[in-house]
Amino acid sequence: MTSSDEFTSIIILGAGRSGTNVLRDVLTGLPDFATWPCDEIQPIWRHGNLRWPDDEFSSDMARPAIVRFIRNAFRKQWRRLGRPKFLVEKTCANTLRVPFIDAIFPDGKYIQILRHGADVVDSAEKRWRGELELPSFSYFLAKARFIPTLDIPIYLWSFASKRFGMIFGKAKHLSTWGPKFRGVAELQDTPLKEICARQWCACVEATQNGLKAVDQARHITLYYEDLVSHPDRELKRILGFLDIHYDAETLASATSIVRVKTGRSIERTVSDDKVREILAPQIPAIGYEDLR
């Protein structure tokens, strides 16, 4: 938000299945941090650009009316939550539109979370197949309260059409899931693992490029593997970035939800040659060991 605002917006940037939920939950387990009552607020971010075919928005698409609408939505939520110091948001599609987000919140803070692409592909594939999906309609209703009234018919149709093929046995996975990167609509006949790999690459690359234009004092990067292997250490690093501090007991309470796992030094083997080819350029570029 601008410097005149009374709170700081924190935008978590991570591809789907990269740990954005656990990061948000750790942060909002602290005093002064709050978030929205649903996983993502895509209808708010897309309002005014709903007909755009993907989630790759440019800064020019942040027209004055859209800026006012989104900022007002954040301010209303901030008031509902008792005016916390930090308001956290983690819609995964924001990885594809950092310039658009930054045009709306020029003083906002960004936390980029990275997870190894091979692990994301395996996890995202299950979501595309609906295997890890929450009860569909109740999940939709949790988000529905934030859909602008005029946009509701479009979202209802989108919700139904994504699942139509699976319901009638004509498709093995949802027609779309997660961030819609440019060109995804042309990949419907592509093997699902390859779509997931391209989706992860698109999100990571767009975020990396978008953050280059953002003041380094306003963004920080961490790894999912580090967060789940050393949660206290990584939370302290984030709080140092935000210039806020808590006692050890408060930190331990916030990170108690994290199931501790092995760090990111493990080598991954990808058996699918095409998936390895897609992932290979990005893996070492963001700090992981080369794929085997």
Backbone angles phi and psi of 252, in degrees to 5: -65, -35
Beta-bridge partner residues of 149 = none
Where in 141-275 does DSSP place strands (E)?
Answer: 219-223
CA distance 291 to 269: 6
Q: Are the CB atoms for 155 and 42 separated by under 8 Å?
A: no
In 3D space, the residue among 132, 122, 123 whose CA is nearest the CA of residue 270 turns out to be 122
The H-or-E segment that residue 285 falls in is helix 282-285
What pLDDT is recorded for position 148? 79
What pLDDT is recorded for position 182? 97
Q: What is the rounded (10 degree) CA torsion for 153, 156, 159, 162?
A: -60
Query: Could you give the C-alpha distances from 32 to 115, 146, 217, 263, in angstroms and in order?
Result: 27, 23, 20, 29
Q: What is the pTM of this model?
A: 0.88
Residue 104: which residues within 8 A CB-CB, separation 6 or more? 62, 66, 67, 70, 71
Domain boundaries, the chain: 8-285
Spell out the per-residue pLDDT of the chain, length 292, in tens. 444 568 999 999 999 999 999 999 999 999 999 999 998 999 999 999 999 999 999 999 999 999 999 999 999 999 999 999 999 999 999 999 999 999 999 999 999 999 999 999 999 999 998 774 555 556 556 667 788 777 777 777 666 665 555 554 555 667 789 999 999 999 989 999 999 999 999 999 999 999 999 999 999 999 999 999 999 999 999 999 999 999 999 999 999 999 887 666 666 879 899 999 999 999 999 999 888 7
Residue 34: which residues within 8 A CB-CB, separation 6 or more? 28, 78, 81, 82, 84, 86, 87, 88
**Class of domain 8-285 as given by CATH:** alpha beta
